[in-house]
Amino acid sequence: MEKLIISTVSVAALKRLVNLQEGAIASYPWTKTDSMSLTDDELRQVQDLKSRLSNCDTHLMNEATIWARAIYPLLSLAEQEPFQAWAQVPLPAQYAQFEIEGIADGVLGKAVAGRVESPYLMVVEAKPGLDRQNPVFQLYGQLLAAAHLNWETDPQPIQEVFGCYTIADTWKFVRAEIQNLETDKPTMRLEFSKEYAEKYEAEIVLKILKLIVAKMLVNSVGAVTKDLSFFS
């Protein structure tokens, strides 16, 4: 059985093991934020965040500083119980023909008893330097692992998970549908948002994060309702 390490996964390995279907960059329904509003407190915190970033050379900062100043503050603002923002989350998963493992830089997911039980939004913080790994393929690996972990909890035939990668304070979101999880070659369909610069578009980034959390809540309630129907 082939073993994939998320931090070094290549597009060649992914295409060999997964039916990869990459869509275009477009304005998908999950990126349209007109229906999502921010509270006065959220708007104040976002404005404070933008003010702190406005005079920062974010492309010259190290990963830990960017994470603390720019990425985690927005993730935490999108929290809604039981979904929380976590850092450094392990993602082990085993498919029929391969296993995949690694650590997610960040996750928005369902937290239970001091652990992330269902990771729904994966975050890859791109490493600085000319020799850095392509964050897109690393994110694909995380999405695959997360889909299988969620399938183990709620075995829906199509698993919907989200991800994003950040380069300095710029965010790019990805939506994935993974199906045929029990077959020798699962299918992963992907949709991509445009890029959002947090210094100028932090409100939009937060609204997209909140839309994803709202969708997670709906899916979670559906799974709980289905489980409770067993006892009726």
Q: Is the peptide bond before 29 cis (omega within 30 degrees of 0)?
A: no
Token reading at 134: 């392509």
pLDDT of 230 strictly over 50: no
pLDDT category, 31, cuts 50, 70, 90?
A: very high
Contact in structure between 137 and 9 (CB atoms under 8 Å): yes
Q: How far apart are CA 103 and CA 7, in angstroms?
A: 8
Tell me how crowded residue 131 is: count the other CB atoms within 10 A of its CB.
6
Tell me the mean pLDDT in the region 96-119: 92
Tell me the mean pLDDT in the region 186-215: 96
Entry pTM: 0.91
pLDDT category, 85, cuts 50, 70, 90?
A: very high
- Specify the pairing of strand 93-94 against strand 98-101: antiparallel
Tens of pLDDT, residue by residue over 138-195, are 999 999 999 999 999 899 999 999 999 999 999 999 999 999 999 999 999 999 999 9
Q: How far apart are CA 190 and CA 169, in angstroms?
A: 23
Strands (E), the chain: 2-5, 19-25, 83-90, 93-94, 98-101, 103-112, 115-125, 158-167, 170-179, 187-197
pLDDT category, 61, cuts 50, 70, 90?
A: confident
Tell me, what's the pLDDT at 57? 86
Token reading at 153: 């909890």
Tell me, what's the pLDDT at 23? 95
Token reading at 140: 């694909």
Helices 198-228, 40-54: crossing angle, 10 deg rounding? 140
102 backbone φψ class: left, alpha, beta (φ>0; ψ -120 to 50): left
Tell me, what's the pLDDT at 131? 57
Percent of the chain with pLDDT over 90: 79
Tell me, what's the pLDDT at 226? 46
65 backbone φψ class: left, alpha, beta (φ>0; ψ -120 to 50): alpha
Higher pLDDT among residues 220 and 87, named by residue: 87
Tens of pLDDT, residue by residue over 1-24, are 899 999 999 999 999 999 999 999
If you average pLDDT over every residue of the chain, what do you get?
90
Contact in structure between 87 and 106 (CB atoms under 8 Å): yes
Tell me the mean pLDDT in the region 197-205: 96
**Ramachandran angles phi, psi of 76, nearest 5°:** -70, -30
